[in-house]
């Protein structure tokens, strides 16, 4: 069974990195290690936008009105 859950962990030491790798391998869990760090301001904006969408605080524009909305 596959799940859509994603876990983001932030180990602080190499010992924690090694322990996490060993744990994941022992349970045959696929994982990816990424060195990319997102800009905290960018992340905050994305989270705010998601919350606004969840609360239906969005502007809906019909396709035929898109050019006018974008002032094109």
- pLDDT, residue 14, reads 96
Element (H, E) at 21: helix 14-26
Question: pLDDT, tens digit, for every residue of 26-70?
Answer: 999 999 888 877 888 999 999 999 999 999 999 999 999 999 999
* CB 14, CB 20: distance < 8 Å: no
The per-residue pLDDT for 1 is 64
Decide: helix, strand or coil at residue 23.
helix
53-67 burial string, b = 16+ CB within 10 Å, else e? eeeeeeeeeeeeeee
Residue spans per domain, the chain: 14-69
pLDDT tens sequence across 5-28: 888 899 999 999 999 999 999 999
Phi (first) and psi of residue 45, to 5 degrees:
-65, -40
């Amino acid at each position: 069974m596959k799940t859509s859950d994603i876990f983001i962990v932030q180990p602080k030491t190499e010992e924690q990195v090694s322990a996490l790798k060993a744990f994941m391998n022992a349970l045959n869990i696929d994982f990816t290690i990424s060195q990319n760090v997102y800009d905290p301001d960018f992340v905050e904006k994305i989270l705010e936008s998601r919350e606004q969408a969840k609360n239906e605080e969005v502007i809906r524009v019909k396709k035929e009105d898109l050019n006018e909305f974008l002032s094109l």
